[in-house]
Amino acid sequence: MDPKERISQILKGLNRAYPKAHTALYFKNPLEILIATILSAQCTDKRVNEVTKVLFKKYKSAEDYAEVPLSVLEKDIRSTGFYHNKAKNIQQCCQELIKRHQGEVPRTMEELVVLPGIGRKTANVVLGNAFGIPGIVVDTHVGRITQRLGLTREKDPVKIEFALMPLIPKGKWILFSHQMIDHGRSLCTARAPKCPACFLLPYCDFGTRTRSEQVNG
């Protein structure tokens, strides 16, 4: 199949299965999605949402995070794991937001990635969800599925992002990221993926190979 047609069929399948895919993180403003995304590292969205339900009532601004004793912030986010580093990154990030941007979350990749604890993945989550600015979020699901589909052989998240950018229409980058994450959670799981039930099986190198091995095994 022509590569462009293959991508088109993959996108059509994702659109049918997850037409309204969106982030599972709860937020009401750019600062909240920034904080929630930092907390989501190696933590489930469900747990993050439980924590932020209380956290966002207590901390309303970058100043609140910047001025609170670090030990208090650590206690407030403890259940998300790796709370020492997360609290440090949140506080330093908010201090830089105050210093550089009057406490507001900036709207460009270049301004976001220089903030403590913010890489391209987090920046793309913020830009896409808070401002509608296109970006491809490469988390473990997106990385795993795009490799299984043969869309890239790269392993580094940043390299995967740049490999996908010319393949996926820019206007679909945000939705594509959410769809792939949903697909990774529902069917294309890291362990025991549900290949026989997957609508992307005809376009999947991994699934086709796995099915062949099972038949010939």
What stretch of H or E contains 69? none
CA distance linking residue 30 with residue 107, whole number of Å:
9
Residue pair 54/45 in contact by the 8 Å Cβ criterion: no
Active site residue 121: yes
- For residue 152, count CB atoms less than 10 angstroms from its CB and return exposed for 0-12, middle for 13-18, buried for 19 or more: middle
- For residue 91, count CB atoms less than 10 angstroms from its CB and return exposed for 0-12, middle for 13-18, buried for 19 or more: buried
| Catalytic position from the list 45, 64, 88, 139 | 139
Active site residue 159: no
The CA-based angle 24-27-29, given to 5 degrees, is 140
**How many CA atoms lie within 13 Å of 157's alpha carbon, on the beta-carbon side?**
14
150 contact partners, CB below 8 Å, separation of at least 6: 204, 205
CA atoms 177, 178, 184, 190: torsion sign: positive
Active site residues per annotation: 121, 139
